[in-house]
């Protein structure tokens, strides 16, 4: 078997629990991501999604286990991995434009100042930030604007791996839709691999090739890997008409509503914990029966 582009091998993270003991967030989590894949991860608050992402970014060390990218162990941050943090993390003393050019200069040291600025402005324009606003400091921007600067900064560096932690959480529905479209365009034009955390099931189905489902913690597990059997290009108004849409959606809702709790707290016993692949396809006559408990209607979460 060939090794995937990004290989997460028996990753374990334990933290002090604040009372002299320790708390296991996840144990022996093992999964792979192929080059060019767009993978979303869904799971309840506190299950360990950001912790996994920080390890993939090389910004945190796991208690044990390794992450390999293209065969090399990830240790420390790298310009090959671009991150949009849950809390934006802009440099407060730099203008919007400089927050973006800062990384571009490091990424492309041979570029002229004019070229760096033009490139940064082009990416800021993609997220709707143009004109005088690019000279404002982060403290002078709204939360949604700050989030967009953070997205532009990650996109502009054209990293091989884009790590996105709820990148659209602070955006209104309209802006969110526009920037989701930009993300798909940027991803479609490059060989980028995307790992994205979201709380929005519909966003995950619209964007992802595959959705990883995490159980609740402690001892959380990446329990399932659900293939999104809906062809691209996908359109947010038409996607709901695809025969697989509600079948997949209901499977995800069931997982987050029930099975994420039922499967919680299982210890690994030292064995690699890999997600079970799930493929739901209603377009084939001999398709698998409906997953247990799933309904062909939208349900409220
Ligand atoms: N540095 C730390 N020290 C101690 N505990 C931590 C630390 N970082 C995270 N945790 C704990 O690890 C668990 C997972 O946190 P994490 O931020 O990864 O969750 P998450 O899935 O991203 O949640 P959310 O959806 O709310 O962002 C939580 O219980 C959290 O309190
Ligand atoms: Mg988080």
Give nearest CA residue, ligand 1 atom 1.
Answer: 15
Inform me whether the pLDDT recorded for 29 exceeds 80: yes
Q: What is the DSSP string of 93-145?
A: TS-HHHHHHHHHHHH-TTS-HHHHHHHHHHHHHHTT--GGGGGS-GGGS-HHH
Contact (CB, 8 A) for 280 and 251? yes
Which ligand number lies closest to the CA of residue 52?
Answer: 1
Inform me whether the pLDDT recorded for 214 exceeds 90: yes
Inform me whether the pLDDT recorded for 181 exceeds 80: yes
The mean per-residue pLDDT over the stretch 15-39 comes to 96
What is the pLDDT confidence band of residue 1, given thresholds at 50, 70 and 90? low
Q: Give the residues surrounding ligand 1 with Cβ less than 6 Å away.
A: 15, 25, 43, 45-51, 86, 217
The mean per-residue pLDDT over the stretch 100-106 comes to 97
Inform me whether the pLDDT recorded for 289 exceeds 70: no
Cα–Cα distance measured from residue 10 to residue 52, given in angstroms and rounded to the nearest whole number: 12
- Provide the whole-model pTM: 0.93
Position with higher pLDDT, 212 vs 170: 212
Residue 286 has a pLDDT of: 62
Q: How far is the CA of 179 from the centre of ligand 1 (A)?
A: 27
Residue 124 has a pLDDT of: 97
What is the CA angle 241-242-245, rounded to 5? Answer: 100
Q: How far is the CA of 46 from the centre of ligand 1 (A)?
A: 5
Cα–Cα distance measured from residue 166 to residue 176, given in angstroms and rounded to the nearest whole number: 11
Give nearest CA residue, ligand 1 atom 17.
Answer: 50
Residue 287 has a pLDDT of: 53
Q: What is the pLDDT of residues 118-139, one digit of tens each?
A: 999 999 999 999 999 999 999 9
Domain positions in the chain are 1-80+162-168+195-301
The mean per-residue pLDDT over the stretch 200-223 comes to 97
Q: How many CB atoms lie within 10 A of CB 250?
A: 22
Give nearest CA residue, ligand 1 atom 8.
Answer: 51
Position with higher pLDDT, 293 vs 275: 275
What is the pLDDT confidence band of residue 3, given thresholds at 50, 70 and 90? confident
Q: How far is the CA of 218 from the centre of ligand 1 (A)?
A: 10
Inform me whether the pLDDT recorded for 73 exceeds 80: yes
Q: How far is the CA of 26 from the centre of ligand 2 (A)?
A: 14
Which ligand number lies closest to the CA of residue 21?
Answer: 1
Percent of the chain with pLDDT over 70: 94
Q: Mean pLDDT of all residues in the chain?
A: 92
Pick the CATH number of 1-80+162-168+195-301 from 3.40.50.11060, 3.40.50.970, 3.40.50.300, 3.60.20.10: 3.40.50.300
Helix (H) or strand (E) holding 249: helix 245-254
Give nearest CA residue, ligand 1 atom 7.
Answer: 15
């Amino acid at each position: 078997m060939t090794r995937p582009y990004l290989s997460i091998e028996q990753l374990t993270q334990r933290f002090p629990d604040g009372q002299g003991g320790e708390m296991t967030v996840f144990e022996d989590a093992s999964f792979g991501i192929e080059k060019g894949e767009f993978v979303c991860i869904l799971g309840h608050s506190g299950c360990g999604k950001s912790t996994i992402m920080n390890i993939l970014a090389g910004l945190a060390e796991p208690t044990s286990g390794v992450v390999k990218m293209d065969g090399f162990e990830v240790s420390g941050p790298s310009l090959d991995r671009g991150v949009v943090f849950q809390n934006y993390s802009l440099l407060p003393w730099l203008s919007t434009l400089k927050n973006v050019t800062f990384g571009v200069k490091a990424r492309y040291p041979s570029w002229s100042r004019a070229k760096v600025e033009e490139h940064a402005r082009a990416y800021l324009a993609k997220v709707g930030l143009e004109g005088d606003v690019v000279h404002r400091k982060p403290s002078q921007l709204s939360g949604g604007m700050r989030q967009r600067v953070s997205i532009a900064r990650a996109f502009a560096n054209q990293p091989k791996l884009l790590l996105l932690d709820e990148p659209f959480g602070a955006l209104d529905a309209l802006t969110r839709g526009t920037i989701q479209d930009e993300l798909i365009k940027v991803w479609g034009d490059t060989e980028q691999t995307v790992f994205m955390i979201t709380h929005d099931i519909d966003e995950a189905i619209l964007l992802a090739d595959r959705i990883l489902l995490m159980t609740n913690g402690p001892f959380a597990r990446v329990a399932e890997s659900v293939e999104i059997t809906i062809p691209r290009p996908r359109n947010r108004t038409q996607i709901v008409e695809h025969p697989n849409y509600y079948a997949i959606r209901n499977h995800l809702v069931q997982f987050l509503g029930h099975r994420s709790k039922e499967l919680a707290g299982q210890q690994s016993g030292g064995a690699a914990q890999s997600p079970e692949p799930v493929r739901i396809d209603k377009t084939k006559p001999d398709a698998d029966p409906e997953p247990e408990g799933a309904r062909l209607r939208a349900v409220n979460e």
